[in-house]
Amino acid sequence: MNALRLPLPISFALAALTLAGCNEVRSAAPAPSATISPFLAPESAVTAVADAGAVGEACPADAGAAIPADAGLDAGAWSDPGCPEGMARAGRSCIDRWEAHLVKRGPEGEILPLTHCDRPPADGDYEARSDPGVFPQAYISRVEAARACKSAGKRLCSMAEWHRACQGKRGSLYPYGAHFQAKKCNSERPHLLSLRFGSDSRRWRYEDFNDPSLDREPGFLEKTGAFAQCGGEYGVYDLVGNLHEWVSDTVDDALIEKMDAEDVTRNHQPSHTGNGVFLGGFFSTHQELGPGCKFTTVAHEPTYHDYSTGFRCCASAAPAPAPASSSGRRP
């Protein structure tokens, strides 16, 4: 595919940087070899703020104390037939209603929350959870996201499952309908890298994309479910905006041909066979790589991570129970 075309002064010369060795020491995965996040907001979206260099409070775990091992949502409050609690049924699949956060098991079986703006632990000792009202996990690669889902007894969603949940039965471009409506989802914010590190993208480094202070900057990343109208007909929140979401698909010629055949407009982006895929855009994207549910990024290796990358999990739905007979007669 052709190189990504983006409005100046944002330059894709960043893609030529050699990123080996730029990963944090805690990362268990090798550093991506060639690409840096390509879907940057247009210059017009970069607006002045009163204190662009200020950072928020220290990255919090939403629960300051350990969560009891048996704690959770009311089993009947957010359950669909054939799905675990906290998941919605969309066709034959169950999908997390909220973007995932990470927890680990304590010595007594208690569940300990991990902070959303830190990289996942290098030892892989974590699992995915999906709850309303918490900051979702950012700075995560597809490899790590898949591990977190597996540890929770789930799996990464496929593109088809993700699109079904986002577009609904009518195939809408947005969770709330066919046409874009401002402020329905958490997107179109100013671009944080420009605000924090200057508009000259040639000076940005891979570690800048993984600066943990980015996702504790007030007014950008929001807690899960904060945008109540970004839920869609299945009640699955934040599929558009907030964080990009990794899916299980891998880039190949068939996937690129399918994307090219879609009746949507996308900026061109570099891609290679074997790259991972993430969907939906994040809080600073507009429609650079497709509108709403069709926003698709194929430019990064499965080990890539930055402040915009998140995920949610899926599972196969059990058959729905047959409706009870109302005749009073035995079947």
**Phi first, then psi: what are they for 8, rounded to 5°?**
-70, 150
- The total of other beta-carbon atoms located within 10 Å of residue 218's CB is 9
Beta-strand pair 93-96/155-156: unpaired
Domains of the chain: 1-44+83-317 (3.90.1580)
The answer, yes or no, to whether residue 33 has pLDDT greater than 50, is no
Tokens representing 318 are: 């059990």
Tell me what pLDDT residue 324 has.
61
Provide the pLDDT confidence category of residue 42 given band limits of 50, 70 and 90. Answer: very low
**Tens digits of residue pLDDT in 214-252:** 999 999 999 999 999 999 899 999 999 999 999 999 999
Beta-ladder partners of 103: 113, 127
**Tens digits of residue pLDDT in 86-118:** 999 999 999 999 999 999 998 888 999 999 999
**Tens digits of residue pLDDT in 152-195:** 999 999 999 999 999 999 999 999 999 999 999 999 999 999 99
DSSP string computed for 216-245: GSTTSS--TT-STTS-TTTT---SSBSSEE
Q: Return the beta strands (E) in the chain as ranges.
A: 87-90, 93-96, 101-105, 111-113, 127-129, 155-156, 244-250, 276-279, 296-297, 309-310, 313-316
CA 275 centroid distance within chain: 16
Closest CA to 296 of 277, 273, 276: 277
Provide the pLDDT confidence category of residue 320 given band limits of 50, 70 and 90. Answer: low
Place of tokens 């650079």: 288
Provide the pLDDT confidence category of residue 204 given band limits of 50, 70 and 90. Answer: very high
Tell me what pLDDT residue 321 has.
66
DSSP string computed for 119-144: PPPTT---EEE--TTSPPP-S--HHH
**Phi first, then psi: what are they for 160, rounded to 5°?**
-65, -45
